[in-house]
Amino acid sequence: MNLALIELFIIEMPLKSPFITHLGTVRDREGIIVKVTDKDGVSGMGEGVAFSTPWYTEETVKTSIHMISDVLIPLLKKHPVNHPEEAAALFQSVRRNNMAKAAIETALWDLYAKKKGQPLSKAIGGTREVVASGVVVAVDSIKNALKQIEEYVAEGYQRIKVKINPQQDYEFLAEIRKCYPDLPIMADANSAYTLRDLDRLKALDELNLMMIEQPLSPNDIIQHAALQKELQTPICLDESIVNFEDARNAVELGSCKVINIKVGRVGGLTEAKRIHDYCFQHNIPVWCGGMIEFGISRAHNIALASMPGFSIPGDISSSSRFWEEDIIAPEITVENGVTQVPTSPGIGFKINEKRLKETTTATIDFQL
Ligand code: OSB
Ligand code: MG
């Protein structure tokens, strides 16, 4: 791909309101914006979605910077690639560190699509002109939950995802269900339960939830299969699925009926596509998960969610869901419950240079 320069922008931005889960609260988001530029001066953008601390996966912003700087870029220097899929294959020689890999690989996909003069969605096999938008409510009081839901329903979101845990589940969801009898609602537990909570989880069956996301620990693949046999509500796996093999094992074992695909969690668009293709063949619906990310990663998510198997609204919310001002222009917007898939080359969004500058805390450059 004739790479000449890779630039990292470490950025930081406060969320408009705290994002509360039983694992911790996110108030400020650090992120890594990756810009790859080739010898013709064409650039592609990617984003590293690891958090500041390892609460969601083992990676952090600092481990990502280390991996990108000291391992992945040196690999690319030593083995120049002609296609983003070659970078994904090259990165297989490094264990895990999927968010660091995805940060670079997605930037290469944007560059690749721009060189072809194609929207990224088309370059990866997307077919939709719009993607269905959902939004996440992550608060610790029913009052705040109902306030946010009212707002989001008015904005047209097609489904609401609510964070739950054993201290905040049946009564909380029942109250929401009472106010919104027909709203598509799903619950995300982020591994807050074990099989000992079987009765608590079974009680949720009567609330007509679309699905319950990641009830048990990431490695509880067999336990999720046992749980799914006892529940009517479909289980969706998030943290458990970090590569194609995890998805295949989960489907073969009956550990879930739905899969949440996150580009960062699985190491890039190449692996995300593989999981999508497998699920599509096996009639397992998928949707695109969010990482409280900035506009660059959200733009990659929109391209991914335009693929045919993404039949359920994902965490594709507007830039204004989390940010006073995003780092892309135009910002991502949701109208009538959908987000338009861009038709211009690459990710289809430009950088808001002023906003990038004012949120950047450090930059690192690599000459290739
Ligand atoms: O479990 O899906 C999750 C955000 C950060 C880390 C994990 C999760 C989430 C979300 C998505 O719930 C929020 C979003 O970006 O819209
Ligand atoms: Mg989740």
Please list the rounded mean pLDDT of every run of 10 residues in the chain (368 residues): 98 98 96 98 98 97 98 98 98 98 98 98 98 97 97 97 98 98 98 98 98 98 98 98 98 98 98 98 98 98 98 97 98 97 98 98 98
Per-residue confidence (pLDDT) for residue 323, from 0 to 100: 98
Per-residue confidence (pLDDT) for residue 252, from 0 to 100: 98
Nearest CA-CA partner of 105 in 304, 260, 343, 292: 304
Per-residue confidence (pLDDT) for residue 113, from 0 to 100: 98
Per-residue confidence (pLDDT) for residue 326, from 0 to 100: 98
**Residue with CA at minimum distance from ligand 1 atom 6:** 291
Per-residue confidence (pLDDT) for residue 246, from 0 to 100: 98
Cα 164 to Cα 37, 48, 160, 227, 235: the distances in Å are 42, 26, 13, 17, 14
Q: Is 253 helix (H, G, I), strand (E, B) or coil?
A: helix
Number of the ligand 1 atom closest to the C-alpha atom of 188: 1
CA atoms within a 13 Å half-sphere pointing along the CA-CB vector of 18: 10
Per-residue confidence (pLDDT) for residue 178, from 0 to 100: 98
Per-residue confidence (pLDDT) for residue 12, from 0 to 100: 98
Nearest CA-CA partner of 272 in 255, 254, 289: 289
Answer whether 189's CB lies under 8 Å from 211's CB. Answer: no
> With a 6 A CB cut-off, is 292 part of the ligand 1 pocket?
yes
> With a 6 A CB cut-off, is 136 part of the ligand 1 pocket?
yes
Phi-psi region of 160 (alpha: psi -120 to 50; beta: other; left: phi over 0): beta
Q: What residues does the ion ligand 2 have nearby, CB within 5 Å?
A: 188, 213, 238
Answer whether 120's CB lies under 8 Å from 113's CB. Answer: yes
Q: Which residues of 131-164 are buried (b: 16+ CB within 10 A; e: fewer)?
A: bbbbbbbbbbebeebbebbeebbebebbbbbbbb
Q: What is the CA(19)–ligand 1 centre distance, in A? A: 9
Number of the ligand 1 atom closest to the C-alpha atom of 317: 16
Please name the residues in contact with 114: beta carbons below 8 A apart, sequence gap of 6 or more: 42, 43, 44, 345, 346
Answer whether 39's CB lies under 8 Å from 4's CB. Answer: yes
Per-residue confidence (pLDDT) for residue 268, from 0 to 100: 98
Phi-psi region of 144 (alpha: psi -120 to 50; beta: other; left: phi over 0): alpha
